[in-house]
Chains A and B, each alone.
Chain A
Amino acid sequence: MHFLAAGDLSTALDARAEHPEAELLAGGTDLMVEVNLSYHRPAGVIAVRSCEELLEWEGRRIGAAVTWARLEDGPHRALGQLARTIGSPQIRAAGTLGGNVATASPAGDGLPWIAAVDAEIEVASRSRGTRIIPWTEFFVGVKETTLAPDEIITAILLPEQMPVSQEFAKVGVRNVMVIAMVNCVVARGDDGFRVALGSVAPVPIRAYRAEEMINAETSISDAALTEFARIVSDEVRPITDHRSTEAYRRHASGVLARRLVERCLAA
C-alpha cells in the first residue's frame, strides 16, 4: 500500500491494522514539512481528513479531524483563542486538533487547553476497540505518545463540567506564523483555577503547586498573584533551544499565567 484516502473510519481502521508502518495524514501541516524538508518518504500513507466520523463535533466530543478554522468559531473561548494563533489562515484551514495531539510537539498550542480542561483522548483500533485515555497518560515525551501503531485518534472528549472561564495566551517572536516559546491556558471552574503550560517541558504540564497555592487564597491580592507567578516560573521545566532560553521561558510562564488568572477574574 502506498496511499489510501479513507472516506470512513472503518476503512481507515482496516488499513491501519494491515499497515501499521503507514503514516496517518490529517491536515498534513506537520507531515508534509517533514516530507518536503527532510526528503522523508513515507512507507505508506492513510489519509483520514475525509472520514466522516472524525469530522463530527457534537457537545463534549470534538472529532479528531476538526480543523483549527472550525475551532476558531467554536463555543470554547480559550480553544478559539489558541486556534486563531496557529500558523496562518492557510494552515488553520488544513491543520486539525487530532493532528496536534498525534504530533505531540511540546509546543503544540492545543495541548495546554486539553490539559487545563482535563480532556481525554479517544482512540480506536481493530485489536483493542475504543480506548479512552486521560491526557496525563497520553503524552509521554517529546513527540511521543501512548498511541499504538494500529490505533487512530478519533476524538477529544471533554468533561461534563467545563470551566466557567478559560483564557489562552502565548509568547512568540511575532503575532502570526509563530511557534510558541511558551503557551498557557488558565481555566476557572467550581474547583478553582487550573493552570496548564506548553513548550516548557517535554509534554504539556499542569502547574499543580501554583494551582494549590492560588486556590487556597480566599481573596486574591496582588501579593498572592506575585507569589503565584513565582511558583509557576519555578514549577515549569523548560530548556534552552533555538526558539528561546530556559530563563526567558520561566519568566514568561509566570507572567502569562498571572495575566490569565487576572483575565479569568475579570471575566
Chain B
Amino acid sequence: MIVTFTINGEERSATVAGWESLLTVLRDNLGLAGSKNACEQGECGSCSVIVDGANLCSCLVMVGDCEGTTITTVEGIAHGSALHPIQQAILDEGGVQCGFCTPGFVITAAHLFAADPNPDEETMREAFSGNICRCTGYGALLRAFDRLAEDGT
C-alpha cells in the first residue's frame, strides 16, 4: 500500500506493508535515520516522534494507520543549521554521551515544552519517564531541561 503523510512540514509518500512500523519506514524508506531503533517494544523511547500532536514510540505505530497524519521527527526540530534551544541546552550541559537516546529526549522535550513552557520538576521527570538513557544518569539532561524551563523557552 502507499501511505502519504506530512513529515516535518513536507508531504511524503512511501510504498509499505501496512503492518510495518512507522520507525522502519522512517529509517529505511524515507532516509530519516534520526529516530533510533533500540528496544522495539516501546520501553526505551529512542524512537519517539510526534504524530498528530501525540508523542509516540514510532516502533509501536503501524505505518498503515498513519495515512494523512502530521509527523514531527527529530530531523524537524532544528531550524536549518541553527540548533533548536532544546538541542543547544543538551549540548551545553553535556547531556549526550553515546547519543542513542538523544533524538527521543529532544522529541519528548519539544512535546513537553510546547504544552507547558515552564514545567515543574515532577512534571518533567514524569514526562521523561518513557525515555531511557544508560550513559548520563539523567543529571545532565535534567539540568538542560531545567534551564529551558527557567528560560521559559
Known A-B contacts A33-B41, A89-B55, A90-B45; the reply to A28 vs B60 at CB < 8 A is yes
CB contact between B1 and one of A2, A33, A35, A177 (< 8 Å): that residue: A2
The CA of A5 and the CA of B3, in the complex, are separated in Å by: 11
Cβ B61 vs Cβ A3 within 8 A = no
Q: Does A32 contact B (CB under 8 A)?
A: yes
Asked if A90 meets B19 with Cβ closer than 8 Å, knowing A28-B62, A33-B41, the reply is: no
Whether, in the assembled complex, B65 has its beta carbon less than 8 Å from a beta carbon of chain A, the answer is yes
Q: Which residues of B contact A89 (CB under 8 A)?
A: 55, 108, 126-127, 129-130
A223 interface contact, C-beta 8 A: no
Q: In whole angstroms, what is the CA distance A47 to B1 when docked?
A: 15
Q: For residues 58 through 95 of chain B, which have their beta carbon under 8 Å from a beta carbon of chain A? A: 59-62, 64-65, 67
Chain A's nearest CB lies how many Å from the CB of B48?
Answer: 6
Contact B18 A3 (CB under 8 A): yes
8 Å CB contact of B54 from A37, A88, A94: A94
Least Cβ distance of B142 to chain A in Å?
A: 15
In the complex, whether B11 has a CB less than 8 A from a CB of chain A is no
Expressed in whole angstroms, the minimum distance between the Cβ of A243 and any Cβ of chain B is: 15
Q: How far is the CB of A159 from chain B (nearest CB, A)?
A: 31
In the assembled complex, A42 has its CB within 8 A of some CB on chain B? yes
What is the interface size of chain A, counting residues whose CB is below 8 A from a CB of the partner?
30
Q: Is A25 an interface residue (CB 8 A)?
A: yes
Given contacts A5-B67, A87-B130, whether A32 and B61 have CB atoms under 8 Å apart is yes
Taking a contact as CB atoms under 8 Å apart, the answer to whether B21 and A90 are in contact is no
Chain B residues with CB under 8 A of A81? none
Q: Is B57 an interface residue (CB 8 A)?
A: yes
Main secondary structure of the interface of A (DSSP, over half): mixed
Q: Which residues of B contact A87 (CB under 8 A)?
A: 42, 130
CB distance from A214 to the nearest CB of B (A): 34
Q: Say whether A29 faces chain B, with CB atoms less than 8 Å apart.
A: yes
User: Known contacts being A3-B19, A88-B130, A177-B129, is A36 close to B41, with CB within 8 Å?
Assistant: yes
Q: Whole-angstrom distance between the alpha carbons of A32 and B59 in the complex?
A: 7
Complex CA distance for A93 and B40, rounded to whole angstroms: 17
Please measure, in the bound complex, the distance between the C-alpha atom of A154 and the C-alpha atom of B17, giving whole angstroms: 27
Determine whether A242 belongs to the interface, using a CB cutoff of 8 Å to chain B.
Answer: no
Q: Which residues of B contact A88 (CB under 8 A)?
A: 42-43, 45, 129-131
Q: Is the CB of B18 within 8 A of A2?
A: yes
B54 and chain A: residue at smallest CB distance: A93
Q: Is B109 an interface residue (CB 8 A)?
A: no
**In the assembled complex, which residues on chain B have CB atoms less than 8 Å from the CB atom of A50?**
65
Q: Does B56 lie at the interface of the complex (its beta carbon under 8 Å from any beta carbon of A)?
A: yes
Residues of B within 8 A of A94 (CB): 54, 56-57, 60-61
Interface hub of B65, B67, B126 (most chain A Cβ within 10 A): B65
Question: Which positions 99-153 of chain B face chain A at CB distance < 8 Å?
Answer: 108, 126-127, 129-132
Query: Judging by beta carbons under 8 Å apart, are A91 and B42 in contact?
Result: yes
Residues of A whose CB lies within 8 Å of any CB of B are 2-3, 5, 25, 27-29, 31-33, 35-37, 41-42, 45, 47, 49-50, 69, 87-91, 93-94, 175-177
